[in-house]
């Protein structure tokens, strides 16, 4: 179990990344991806690196020289898994965050508070020395940000100054693809600057002016003045970058970056590369989160470019973590028995052990059940289990699953272990947008639909405001109506789709209310008759997207090489892509995992099922939700996009005590994160099924799993379990009585 964990944030440049090299002041913000140093016993913790060793050496030296402090324990390990975007790391300063976290950990271990400004000053000195020793160069802004957090104004050779992040400013990040080598970029610009010092001076002067103007906007209390200055500053900055690009030939503003910058400008927002450019991060500034979501949707649709989730800015600096990371790698978990498993989950999650009584049979009492639905005569129990090995975006999850089918949980855990060998799952989400629908029908034959459509379009802004007025609390939480579309379904039938940001609720109730509020107004303005007023369960604007890469070695076994298994799985995927009859079964395997998590966490699993299958058929052909390919390195790459109309507030999550505890065990902090977990479990379930089907077939694995629980039920212990499983499978009669008999035989043989 983890006793101490200290974390440090990554960073992103808001402005001034080139100008700082010429002596100007940059603004750098700490982002909500953290490096975590912890003394946990997870076998998968990353090994020491030259960087962590240097950090450790510096802190040990410092502690040995200060009086009255304890010597540090052995070098801690540090996890920067949350900085990854699939196979590559995002340029968010993971190495600076790692150094800061290691230094902070060993200072905390010796009794220093990593949040104390005096301790942070020491941590900065030690971390900067270690970072410079191993990484060389660099401005040092990233280490300062990792230690202090927030937003800092940073100039070389000067102490960083904290700058308050304005509450009115929303910052989004987009992934512009694999980055070029920053060091060679900066070098290319430097060489060009020596060749043409005048042009270089003009460009850097412009970049410096941009940084100053940006800072004045950032520090303005007035959103209009502030955003105007930021927009102008960003335009100036991008011009300066293009000048550097012209003189150096370094491809700083790539086509992907240009697409984001142009689209943002068309929407009145400001976007620029964050860092040296050439790909990687683009930062966007807006007055409303809704504008960033609209931009994300448009960039995804038109250019296939993705937003990097909702990445908090001005994140806290070096700190001791109250809830240290848990490890979902619990080897031998299945052998523990129910009580032992509850102990293990309680200790990993730090949920008090007595709260697990909420999972006892009958925890949903008859009175509550009677209040939930009508005509109640009892409750229906299902087994609730925990899947292990899940690691998503660098964070481990113990995943509650409720399902009656044997082997679903074991298969998902097993596949998650294979995926973990490749770094785990990488997940991101669309904004939590759902659709409320109002059906309109022509009062009499021949009424022109185009007049009705035009009337609705003309009133778009009023209609969106009316939708918002139905849910002021949702609007106060940052949600609300985002878009309105009219579709002509037939000459006498229209549908109005209102796109609503539901925040962390599943949203059914609020969407239905919005549809009902809009219907009479739509009817009045068009003369058409309002029919149905209800949400759409085809939540294709609210998907969770999950990918993974599995090394072939992790797939090998049962007489099959990893390469053969990977090829078989890719071929099974193609089969499902070509044949709807296979795709249905393929998707059943995906939903084995998705539904089990939905059920355990109190979600509306019928809505999720309806959404998943409607989405699978959206192109007109029924398609697999998850697909697999073998990449050029021979690794197996999986991807799933799943409509995820799920929430962590409201619904059964409120009333069912077991669902509430299950959500707590999972520890998902938002509806988006819950959706990502579900999609990851769906992808893992699919991998397990395809691997079995493409190799030895599904029955053998099922039989031995079933035989294992029968063997344990018959009282087999230790080494007896595997022997008895083998004999039961051989006997082809996997029954309790047979197991008791075979166990007796086994024991008499060994006497």
Q: Is 571 in the site for ligand MEV (CB under 6 A)?
A: no
Part of the chain binding ligand MEV (CB under 6 A), chosen from 548-556, 625-633, 685-693, 722-730: 685-693
> Do the strands 151-154 and 161-163 form a parallel or antiparallel pair, or are they unpaired?
antiparallel
**Residue nearest ligand MEV by beta-carbon distance:** 589
> Quick check: 589 binds ligand MEV (CB under 6 A)?
yes
Among this protein's residues, is 58 annotated catalytic? no
Tally the residues of the chain: 751
Contact 144, 152 (CB under 8 A): yes
Q: Is residue 414 involved in binding ligand MEV (CB under 6 A)?
A: no
**Count of residues of this chain found to bind ligand MEV when the rule CB under 6 A is applied:** 10
Strand partners, 355: none
Nearest-approach distance from CB 398 to ligand MEV, in angstroms? 23
CA distance 204 to 17: 11
Segment contacting ligand MEV by CB under 6 A, of 278-286, 686-694, 703-711, 722-730? 686-694
568 sits near ligand MEV (criterion: CB under 6 A)? no
Residue 608, CB half-sphere, CA atoms under 13 Å: how many? 30
Catalytic: which of 588, 654, 735, 736? 588
Smallest gap from residue 617 Cβ to ligand MEV (A): 18
Compare residues 260 and 566 and give the one whose CB is closer to ligand MEV.
566
Contact between residue 552 and residue 636 where contact means Cβ atoms under 8 Å apart: yes
Q: Which of 586, 623, 656, 708 binds ligand MEV (CB under 6 A)?
A: 586
Q: Which is nearer to ligand MEV, 315 or 600 (CB)?
A: 600
Should residue 245 be labelled a site residue for ligand MEV when binding is judged by CB under 6 A?
no
Considering the complex, what minimum distance in angstroms separates the CB of residue 609 from ligand MEV? 14
Q: 426 forms bridges with which residues in the sheet?
A: 547
Q: Nearer Cβ to ligand MEV, position 410 or 648? A: 410
Q: Rounded distance, CA 572 to CA 691, Å?
A: 9
- Count CB neighbours of 221 within 10 A: 9
Set 44, 232, 516, 702: catalytic member: 702
- Quick check: 552 binds ligand MEV (CB under 6 A)? no
Nearer CB in complex with ligand MEV: 41/405: 405
Give least dist CB 13 to ligand MEV, A: 46
Q: Give yes or no for residue 530 binding ligand MEV (CB under 6 A).
A: no
Q: Quote the CA–CA distance of 621 and 576 in Å, as a whole number.
A: 11
- 592 lines the binding site for ligand MEV (CB under 6 A): yes
**Cβ distance to ligand MEV smaller for residue 588 or 654:** 588
With respect to ligand MEV, which residue has the nearer C-beta, 140 or 682? Answer: 682
Residue pair 742/727 in contact by the 8 Å Cβ criterion: yes
Q: Which is nearer to ligand MEV, 603 or 686 (CB)?
A: 686
Phi, psi of 498 (to 5 degrees): -105, 120
Residue number with CB closer to ligand MEV (449 or 566):
566
Residue tagged active-site, from 604, 613, 656, 673: 604
Contact (CB, 8 A) for 642 and 678: yes
The yes-or-no answer on residue 70 being catalytic is no
Residues 687-706 interacting with ligand MEV (rule: CB under 6 A)? 689-690, 693, 698
* Residue 585 near ligand MEV by CB under 6 A: yes
- Beta-carbon contacts of residue 529 (< 8 Å; ≥ 6 apart): 440, 441, 442, 443, 523
CB of 668 to ligand MEV, least distance (A): 25
Q: What's the CA gap between 45 and 38, in Å, rounded?
A: 9
165 part of the interface to ligand MEV, by CB under 6 A: no
Smallest separation, CB 588 to ligand MEV (Å): 5
Strand locations in 289-368, DSSP E? Answer: 306-307, 319-320
Q: How far apart are CA 25 and CA 21, in angstroms?
A: 9
Cα–Cα distances in Å, from 377 out to 175, 363, 385? Answer: 53, 16, 26
> Residue 436 in contact with residue 515, Cβ under 8 Å?
yes
Q: According to the 3-state scheme, what is the secondary structure of 94-137?
A: HHHHHHHHHHHHHHHHCCCCCCCHHHHHHHHHHHHHHHHHHHCC
Instruction: Give residues 102-121 in contact with ligand MEV (rule: CB under 6 A).
Output: none
Token readout for 76 is 């801690």
> 500 Cβ partners below 8 Å, 6+ apart?
433, 434, 435, 436, 467, 474, 479, 480, 481, 482, 507, 510, 511, 514
Q: Specify whether 604 is catalytic.
A: yes
Report, in Å, the least distance between residue 408 CB and ligand MEV.
Answer: 7
CA–centroid distance for 232 within its chain: 33
CB of 572 to ligand MEV, least distance (A): 8
Confirm if 76 and 60 have CB atoms less than 8 A apart. Answer: no
Instruction: Return d(Cα 617, Cα 539) in angstroms, integer.
Output: 13
Write out the DSSP string of 163-188: EPPPTT-EEEEEE-SSPP-HHHHHHH
Rounded to the nearest whole angstrom, what is the least distance from the CB of residue 467 to ligand MEV in the complex?
41
Residue whose token pair is 């509850």: 342
Residue nearer to ligand MEV on the CB measure, 369 or 584: 584
Q: Which is nearer to ligand MEV, 350 or 588 (CB)?
A: 588
Residue 581 C-beta: closest distance to ligand MEV, Å: 11
Q: Which stretch binds ligand MEV (CB under 6 A): 508-516, 588-596, 709-717, 738-746?
A: 588-596
Query: Does 588 interact with ligand MEV (rule: CB under 6 A)?
Result: yes
Q: Dmax over Cα atoms in the chain, in whole Å?
A: 93
Q: Can you tell me which residue has the tokens 């073998």?
A: 630
Handedness of CA 319, 320, 323, 326 (dihedral sign): positive
Q: Which is nearer to ligand MEV, 410 or 442 (CB)?
A: 410
Active-site hit among 339, 405, 524, 733:
405
Stretch that binds ligand MEV, among 30-38, 342-350, 585-593, 671-679 (CB under 6 A): 585-593
Contact between 27 and 148 (Cβ < 8 Å): no
Report, in Å, the least distance between residue 685 CB and ligand MEV.
8
Query: In the complex, what is the shortest distance from the CB of residue 694 to ligand MEV, in angstroms, rounded to a whole number?
Result: 10
Q: Which is nearer to ligand MEV, 262 or 405 (CB)?
A: 405
Q: Which residues bind ligand MEV (CB under 6 A)?
A: 405, 585-586, 588-589, 592, 689-690, 693, 698
Q: Report the catalytic residues.
A: 405, 588, 604, 702
């Amino acid at each position: 179990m983890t006793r101490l964990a200290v974390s440090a944030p990554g960073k992103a440049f808001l402005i001034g990344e080139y100008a700082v090299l010429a002596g100007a002041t940059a603004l750098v913000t700490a982002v909500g991806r953290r490096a975590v140093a912890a003394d946990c016993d997870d076998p998968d913790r990353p090994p020491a690196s030259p960087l962590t060793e240097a950090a450790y050496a510096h802190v040990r030296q410092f502690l040995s020289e200060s009086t009255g402090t304890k010597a540090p324990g052995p070098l801690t390990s540090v996890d920067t898994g949350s900085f990854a975007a699939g196979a590559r790391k995002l340029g968010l300063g993971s190495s600076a965050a790692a150094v800061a976290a290691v230094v902070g950990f060993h200072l905390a271990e010796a009794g220093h508070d990593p949040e104390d400004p005096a301790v942070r000053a020491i941590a900065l000195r030690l971390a900067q020395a270690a970072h410079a020793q191993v990484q060389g160069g660099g401005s040092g802004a990233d280490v300062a940000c990792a230690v202090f957090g927030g937003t800092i104004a940073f100039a070389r050779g000067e102490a960083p100054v904290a700058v308050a992040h304005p509450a009115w400013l929303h910052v989004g990040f987009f992934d512009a693809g694999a980055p070029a080598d920053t060091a060679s970029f900066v070098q290319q610009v430097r060489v060009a600057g020596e060749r043409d010092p005048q042009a270089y001076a003009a460009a850097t002067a412009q970049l410096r002016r941009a940084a100053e103007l940006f800072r004045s906007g950032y520090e303005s209390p007035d959103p209009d003045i502030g955003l105007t200055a930021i927009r102008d500053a960003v335009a100036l900055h991008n011009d300066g970058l293009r000048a550097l690009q012209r003189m150096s030939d370094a491809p700083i503003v790539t086509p992907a970056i240009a697409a984001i910058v142009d689209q943002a400008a068309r929407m009145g927002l400001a976007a620029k590369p964050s860092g040296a450019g050439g790909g990687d991060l683009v930062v966007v500034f807006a007055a409303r989160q809704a504008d960033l979501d609209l931009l994300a949707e448009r960039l995804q649709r038109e250019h296939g470019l993705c937003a990097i989730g909702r990445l908090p800015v001005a994140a806290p600096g070096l700190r001791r973590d109250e809830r240290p990371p848990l490890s979902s790698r619990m080897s031998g978990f299945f052998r523990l028995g129910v009580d032992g498993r509850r102990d293990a989950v309680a200790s990993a999650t730090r949920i008090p052990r007595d709260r697990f009584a909420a999972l006892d049979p009958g925890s949903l009492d008859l009175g509550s059940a009677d209040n939930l639905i009508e005509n109640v005569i009892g409750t229906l129990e299902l087994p609730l289990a925990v899947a292990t090995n899940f690691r998503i975006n660098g964070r481990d999850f113990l995943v509650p699953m409720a399902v009656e089918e044997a082997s679903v949980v074991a298969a998902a855990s097993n596949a998650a272990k294979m995926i973990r060998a490749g770094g785990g799952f990488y997940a991101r989400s669309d904004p939590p947008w759902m659709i409320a629908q109002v059906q309109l029908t022509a009062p009499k034959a021949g009424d022109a639909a185009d007049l009705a459509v035009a009337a609705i379009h003309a009133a778009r802004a009023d209609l969106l405001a009316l939708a918002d007025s139905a849910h002021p609390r949702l609007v106060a939480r940052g949600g609300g109506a985002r878009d309105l579309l009219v579709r002509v379904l037939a000459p006498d039938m229209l549908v109005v789709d209102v796109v609503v940001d539901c925040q962390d609720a599943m949203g059914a109730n609020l969407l239905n209310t919005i549809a009902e509020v809009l219907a009479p107004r739509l009817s009045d303005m068009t003369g058409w008759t309002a029919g149905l007023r209800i949400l759409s369960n085809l939540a294709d604007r609210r998907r969770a997207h999950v990918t993974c890469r599995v090394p072939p070695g992790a797939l090998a076994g049962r007489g099959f090489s990893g390469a053969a298994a990977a090829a078989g799985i890719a071929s099974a995927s193609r089969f499902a892509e070509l044949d709807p009859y296979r795709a249905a079964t393929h998707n059943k395997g995906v939903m084995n995992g998705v539904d089990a998590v939905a059920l355990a966490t109190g979600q509306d699993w019928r809505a999720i099922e309806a959404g998943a299958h409607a989405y699978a058929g959206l192109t007109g052909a029924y398609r697999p939700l998850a697909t697999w390919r073998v990449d050029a390195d021979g690794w197996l790459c999986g991807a799933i996009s799943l409509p995820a109309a799920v929430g962590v507030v409201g619904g059964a999550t409120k009333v069912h005590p077991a669902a509430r505890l299950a959500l707590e065990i999972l520890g998902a902090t938002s509806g988006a994160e819950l959706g990502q977990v579900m999609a990851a479990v769906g992808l893992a379930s699919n991998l397990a099924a395809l691997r079995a089907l493409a190799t030895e077939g599904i029955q053998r694995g099922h039989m031995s799993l079933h035989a294992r629980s029968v063997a344990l039920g018959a009282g087999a212990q230790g080494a007896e379990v595997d022997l008895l499983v083998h004999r039961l499978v051989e006997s082809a009669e996997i029954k309790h009585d047979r197991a008791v008999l075979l166990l007796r035989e086994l024991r008499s043989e060994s006497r």
